[in-house]
């Protein structure tokens, strides 16, 4: 039986941080058995490798001090230029665009790099907030390399739509 603490966290998360609730409760469970690269870690994401126990999870963060929050397989590096030989089924960039990935050229390179390390028909998920104050506002759809991907609808949310909490998910399939 779920502990009361877990239930309370779930209710609060849905109410106060709906996009993260979507990530944890809708997106993660749908990715069973996929090989996943999670971009950017923090203390509040340190349990993600445990939640994704049916997945092969790698994490990456450019900040070496964030490594303690990463998965067993963790890379210290920048998603814009890191060289990885492995390929992934899914790459998740939640809270990265305009949260460290702040310049158009870097964002273009990140899309290209994700393309290169995704399997054919692999899925790139970008979660970003178009209204966050004091942050750049790069819209992934204005990037040239966005065309390397096909947006698809998932979870009844749709790619590129604003959801509760002024947040946008892009669900992008790597074109062959
Ligand atoms: C908002 S925090 C955590 C994001 C996390 N994915 C989440 O679910 O909230 C952003 C983290 O992403 C990292 N980051 C920002 N830009 C990055 C990049 N280009 N490559 C790798 N990590 C990056 C930062 O160092 C920071 O630790």
| Domain assignment present for 161 | yes
72 three-state secondary structure: coil
Confirm whether 41 is domain-assigned.
Answer: yes
Look at ligand 1, atom 20, and give the residue with the nearest C-alpha. Answer: 78
Predicted confidence (pLDDT) per residue in 63-117, tens digit: 999 999 999 999 999 999 999 999 999 999 999 999 889 999 999 999 999 999 9
CA 2 / ligand 1 centre spacing (Å): 30
- Residue 2, in any domain of the structure: no
Dump the DSSP string for 92-154. Answer: EEES-BTTTB-SHHHHHHHHHHHHHHEEEEEEEEEEE-TT-TTS----GGGSGGGGGEEE---
Give domain status of residue 21, yes or no. Answer: yes
Q: Which of 60, 61, 67, 94 to mutate to test the pocket of ligand 1 (most atoms within 8 A of CB)?
A: 61
pLDDT band, very low/low/confident/very high, at 7 (cuts 50, 70, 90): confident
**pLDDT average, residue stretch 35-48:** 97
Q: Which structural domain, as residue segments, surrounds residue 49?
A: 7-174
What is the per-residue pLDDT across 133-174, written as a single tens digit (0 to 9) for each?
666 789 999 999 999 999 999 878 888 888 887 889 999 999
pLDDT mean over 116-139: 88
pLDDT surpasses 80 at 43: yes
Instruction: Give the chain's length.
Output: 176
pLDDT category of residue 131 using cuts at 50, 70 and 90: confident
Residue 1 lies in a domain: no
- Has residue 74 been placed in a domain? yes
Report the separation in Å between the CA atom of 96 and the middle of ligand 1, taken as the mean of its atom positions.
5
Domain-embedded: residue 149: yes
92 Cβ inside 6 Å of ligand 1: no
* DSSP state at residue 23: I
- How many domains would you assign to the chain? 1
**What is the pLDDT, as a whole number, of residue 37?**
98
Is 27 a domain residue? yes
Residue 78 beta carbon below 6 angstroms from any ligand 1 atom: yes
pTM tops 0.85: yes
* Distance from Cα 119 to the centre of ligand 1, integer Å: 22
State which of 19, 40, 103, 165 you would mutate to test the pocket of ligand 1, scoring each by most atoms of that ligand within 8 A of its C-beta.
40
The CATH number covering residue 26 comes to: 3.40.50.150
pLDDT for 31: 94
Predicted confidence at residue 147, as pLDDT, reads 97
In this predicted model, what pLDDT tens digit does every residue of 12-24 receive, in sequence order? 888 888 999 999 9
Residue closest by Cα to atom 6 of ligand 1: 40
Q: What whole-number distance in Å separates Cα of residue 140 and Cα of residue 57?
A: 25
Provide the terminal-to-terminal Cα distance of the chain, rounded to the nearest Å. 44
């Amino acid at each position: 039986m779920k502990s009361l603490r877990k239930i309370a966290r779930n209710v609060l998360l849905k109410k106060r941080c709906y996009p993260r609730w979507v990530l944890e409760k809708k997106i993660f469970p749908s990715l069973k058995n996929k090989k996943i690269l999670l971009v950017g870690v923090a203390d509040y994401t340190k349990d993600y490798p445990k939640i994704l126990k049916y997945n092969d999870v790698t994490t990456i963060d450019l900040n070496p001090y964030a490594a303690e929050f990463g998965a067993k397989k963790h890379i210290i590096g920048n998603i814009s230029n890191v060289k990885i030989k492995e390929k992934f089924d899914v790459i998740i960039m939640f809270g990265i665009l305009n949260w460290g990935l702040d310049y158009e050229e870097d964002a273009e390179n990140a899309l290209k790099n994700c393309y290169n390390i995704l399997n054919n028909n692999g899925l790139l998920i970008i979660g970003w907030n178009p209204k966050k104050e004091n942050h750049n506002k790069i819209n992934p759809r204005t990037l040239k390399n966005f065309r390397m991907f096909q947006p698809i609808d998932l979870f009844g949310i749709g790619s590129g739509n604003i959801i509760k909490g002024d947040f946008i998910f892009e669900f992008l399939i790597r074109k062959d």
